[in-house]
Structure 1
């Protein structure tokens, strides 16, 4: 088998794996969207839920730093 054929086969396999993963990712995104819609129908605010999910992903010290900066800005603007 020629070297170019092997490289082409390997490339095709990589592309096919990526395509399968992209399909899975789309399916998961659809599932997440459905959960937010269900929560909204129950009375929860999806925008706030997304913020909470984002906060929970953060390192504790990063979240604390951002909270401190936000509080400083709010105080400076009279929003505290």
Structure 2
């Protein structure tokens, strides 16, 4: 192997190591941010519960608001049909 090829190979290896380290550090930082956000969400639910709100209902509403309105309506129609068939309505 020539000296130039050896230098290029070492340079490429260093670039790969630096890139890998950067990726790992970014993931770690994002995971820390994710945990902080999860803690904040938990605190808001605790606050809501302290104010008398049902957290299960709040979670259900949040889930529903994230769904496509048409898909949510279709699901609700099916759910209502099943509940009527079971005598729950």
Shared fold (TM-score, shorter chain, > 0.5): yes
Flag as ranges the 4+ runs of structure 1 deviating above 2 A: none
Higher relative contact order (CA 8 A, sep 6+): 1
Matched residues, number: 80
Distance apart, 1:5 and its partner CA:
1.2
Q: CA RMSD in A?
A: 0.8
TM-score (norm 1): 0.96
Q: What 5-or-longer segments of structure 1 have no aligned partner?
A: none
Question: Which protein has the larger Cα radius of gyration, Structure 1 or Structure 2?
Answer: 2
* CA deviations over 1:1-51 (Å, ceiling 9, x no partner): 521111110011011001001000000000000000000010000011000
2-side partners of 1:47 and 1:8: how far apart? 46
